[in-house]
Amino acid sequence: MPRDLPVLPDFTPGELTFKPVPMFTYANSLADETASGRITRPDAINMLDAMLSVRFFEEMIVTLKKGKFEPLARFKFIGATHLSMGQEAVAVGTMSAIRHDDYITSTHRGHGHSIAKGYYALLTADDDYLCEFVGPTADRAKSGLLDCAIQEHINRTMAELFGKQLGYCHGRGGGMHIADFHAGHLGANAIVGGSYAIAAGAAMACDKLQNGRVVACLVGDGATNNGIAHEAYNFACMTQFKRGCPVIFIIENNQYGMTGQQVGEVTGIDHLARRGAAYNFDNMHAEVVNGMDVLAVHDAVSRAADLCRNGQGPVLLECLTYRYMGHSLSDDRMSYRTEEEEAAWQAQDPIRRFQRQVVDSGVMTGEQVNARREQARERVDFATVFAAKCEDPDPKDIYDGLYTDTDSEGIGDEYKTPASEILQEPVKVRRDNQGRVLFRHAVCEALIEEMMRDKRVILYGEDVADYGGAFGVTKGIIDIFGRDRCFNTAISESAIIGTGAGAAMVGMRPVVELMYIDFILMTMDQTGNQVAKARYMFGGKATVPMVIRTTVGGGKGYAGQHSQSLEAVATMFPGLRVIAPATAYDAKGLLKSAIRDDNPVVFIEHQLSYLEKGECPEDDYTIPIGVAKVAREGTDVTVVAYSYMYHVAMEAAELAAAEGISVEVVDPRTLMPLDTETIAASVKKTGHLVIVQQAPEQGCFGEHIAYQLQSCCFASLKAPVKIVAAHNVPPPMAEPLEKENIPSPEKVLANVKATLNAER
Q: Which residues are catalytic?
A: 562
Peptide bond into 314 cis (omega under 30): yes
The answer to whether 190 touches 328, Cβ cutoff 8 Å, is no
* Cα distance between residue 357 and residue 248, in whole Å: 28
DSSP state of 135: -
* Cα distance between residue 287 and residue 300, in whole Å: 8
DSSP state of 168: T
Phi, psi at residue 562, to the nearest 5°? -135, 10
The answer to whether 676 touches 683, Cβ cutoff 8 Å, is no
* Cα distance between residue 290 and residue 348, in whole Å: 10
| Residues in contact with 310: Cβ distance below 8 Å, sequence separation at least 6, in sequence order | none
The answer to whether 237 touches 284, Cβ cutoff 8 Å, is yes
| Residues in contact with 51: Cβ distance below 8 Å, sequence separation at least 6, in sequence order | 88, 89, 91, 92, 294, 350, 351, 354
Chain-centre distance for alpha carbon 383: 30
Cross-strand partners of 603 = 549, 579
* Cα distance between residue 631 and residue 650, in whole Å: 8
Angle between helices 41-65 and 145-161 (to 10 degrees): 30
Other CB atoms within a 10 A radius of the CB of residue 332 amount to 9
Kindly report the three-state secondary structure assignment for every residue of 29-42. CHHHHHHHCCCCHH
The answer to whether 153 touches 114, Cβ cutoff 8 Å, is no
- Tell which residue, 260, 256, 119, has the closest CA to residue 185: 119
Angle value at C-alpha 37, between 212 and 294, nearest 5 degrees: 70
Angle value at C-alpha 86, between 83 and 92, nearest 5 degrees: 90
The answer to whether 620 touches 416, Cβ cutoff 8 Å, is no
Phi, psi at residue 68, to the nearest 5°? -110, 10
Can you give the length of the chain in residues? Answer: 760
Angle between helices 701-713 and 676-686 (to 10 degrees): 60
Peptide bond into 673 cis (omega under 30): yes
Which three-class secondary structure state does DSSP give residue 696?
A: strand
**With b meaning 16 or more CB within 10 Å and e meaning fewer, what string describes 558-567?**
bbeebbbbbb
* Cα distance between residue 606 and residue 552, in whole Å: 5
Kindly report the three-state secondary structure assignment for every residue of 169-227. CCCCCHHHCCCEHHHCECCCCCCCCCCHHHHHHHHHHHHHHCCCCCEEEEEEHHHHHCH
Phi, psi at residue 250, to the nearest 5°? -110, 105
Kindly report the three-state secondary structure assignment for every residue of 597-651. ECCCEEEEEEHHHCCCEEECCCCCCCCCCCCCEEEECCCCEEEEECCCHHHHHHH
Q: What is the largest CA-CA distance in the chain?
A: 97
- CA-CA-CA-CA torsion sign (585, 588, 590, 596): negative
- CA-CA-CA-CA torsion sign (493, 496, 497, 498): positive
**With b meaning 16 or more CB within 10 Å and e meaning fewer, what string describes 712-733?**
ebeeebebebbbbbbeeeebbe
C-alpha separations of 283 from 20, 276, 277 in Å: 8, 4, 4
The answer to whether 648 touches 679, Cβ cutoff 8 Å, is no
The answer to whether 581 touches 647, Cβ cutoff 8 Å, is no
